[in-house]
Amino acid sequence: MFGALAGGVVIDRFGPRRTSVVADVFSGVAVAAVPIAAMTVGLGLALVVALAFLGALLDAPGQTSRQVILPDLAGIGGVRLERANSIFQAIESGSLLVGPAIAGVIVLAVGPLGAMWLDAGSFLISAAVIRLLVPDIRPDAGGGPADVAAGIRALATDRVLRMLTVVAAVANLVYTPLFLVVLPALANRSGEGPAALGAMLAVLGAGLMGGALGYGVLADRVSRRMALITGFTGTGAAVMVASLELPLPALLVALLAAGLMSGPINPIAFTVMQERVPAATRGRVFGAVLGGVLVAAPVGMIVLGAAADVAGPRMALLISGATILAVGGIVAILRTSRELD
């Protein structure tokens, strides 16, 4: 959260391209510090936690800066904003689909420390690509260099942004833990093992990618409000179905449906935010929004992790699905949601 808030100020002051490059370089250094420490002073728990914290702290400004600059790049390329956001989110979801498999192959081929060196190198490649291929767009930021509160003030005065932030935080509270806590627990409890977990994550990632791309194609023919309501309610219903005692093929179908239905949610939310926030304060506003949303995921991991331990992973899935379904109902009831279109 702190990384997103502080990073927003840096983005508006120095520009999203420069912030993205610097964040990637230092994130790569933080990752490379792990194998360096292992080969020299040794890796203790405190050092690992500190390096992990540093890496997460630096990732947030880089992630925010790429969302901030996307509208300008879409305008330069003559691409509709909905389509640009859909492609961006689809690529991120595609990394979920292929990333774990590639990482497993790399670890087997070169070992954990070798994989860390390659991971560090990937950050440097990202920094080089952004530096060489992305224009340096730096609107007049306005306000003081430490005006973190500008983003929070913008949220306080724009009811649509407030609504999107709250519903995104609640959804992130119960959706992100599915990948990291609930589905691994389900695969472990069911006795299916790593292969089943890989299949679950793959179909969910494929669904997210397909849903995002599908929205990019249909965006000019559908209501944003109805697409958002359908996305939340459909995702919630599919996750609730996945909580039932299903054979693995049926479970995979339910998770694929959950991914497809949730795919349009982020492209819609980011498009509305990018349209409503002036370019000069976009970094600080996005930092405030993403800070609030990102902090919900660790809380959700604790809550759903405890639920999975006490009542079982299927109960955690049921709680997650019911909560997401309720979010869709709240969006449908709120009059503010009519301003999405």
Per-residue tokens: 258? 């959950």
Domain annotation covers residue 164: yes
Could you tell me if 166 and 274 lie in one domain? yes
Tally of CB atoms within 10 A around 168: 23
Could you tell me if 127 and 166 lie in one domain? no
Per-residue tokens: 246? 């299903």
Could you tell me if 290 and 193 lie in one domain? yes
Residue type, 164: L
Round to whole Å and give the CA distance between 288 and 282: 10
* C-alpha triplet 28, 30, 34: angle, nearest 5°: 110
Could you tell me if 129 and 153 lie in one domain? no
Domain annotation covers residue 90: no
Domain annotation covers residue 141: no
Could you tell me if 183 and 69 lie in one domain? no
Round to whole Å and give the CA distance between 198 and 187: 9
Alpha helices in the chain (DSSP H): 2-14, 16-39, 45-77, 81-133, 149-157, 159-177, 183-190, 194-218, 224-242, 248-262, 265-276, 282-294, 296-311, 313-333
**Cβ atoms 288, 151 nearer than 8 A:** yes
Could you tell me if 281 and 204 lie in one domain? yes
Domain annotation covers residue 33: yes
Domain annotation covers residue 248: yes
- CATH number assigned to the domain comprising residue 331: 1.20.1250.20
**Cβ atoms 175, 320 nearer than 8 A:** yes
Round to whole Å and give the CA distance between 63 and 75: 20
Could you tell me if 238 and 157 lie in one domain? yes
**How many domains is the chain partitioned into structurally?**
2
**CB neighbour burial string for 98-117, b if at least 16 within 10 angstroms, e if fewer:** eebeeeeebeeeeeeeebbb
* C-alpha triplet 7, 176, 289: angle, nearest 5°: 30
User: Mind listing the pLDDT tens digit of every residue in the chain (341 residues)?
Assistant: 666 667 778 888 888 999 999 999 988 998 898 899 888 887 777 887 787 777 777 777 888 888 888 998 998 889 999 999 999 989 888 876 777 678 778 888 888 888 889 989 999 999 999 999 998 877 654 444 456 666 677 777 889 988 988 888 888 888 888 888 999 898 887 766 777 888 888 899 899 999 999 999 998 899 999 999 999 999 999 999 999 999 999 999 999 999 999 999 999 999 998 888 888 788 888 888 887 777 888 889 899 999 999 999 999 999 999 999 999 999 999 999 999 98
Could you tell me if 207 and 318 lie in one domain? yes
Could you tell me if 124 and 12 lie in one domain? yes
Round to whole Å and give the CA distance between 79 and 82: 8
Round to whole Å and give the CA distance between 10 and 24: 14
Domain annotation covers residue 215: yes
The backbone torsions φ and ψ at residue 41, rounded to the nearest 5 degrees and listed phi first, read -85, -15
Q: Note down the domain range covering 42.
A: 2-79+112-133
Could you tell me if 216 and 310 lie in one domain? yes
Could you tell me if 74 and 202 lie in one domain? no
Could you tell me if 230 and 255 lie in one domain? yes
Domain annotation covers residue 97: no
Write out pLDDT tens, residues 87-121: 998 988 887 677 767 877 888 888 888 888 998 99
Largest CA distance in the chain: 60
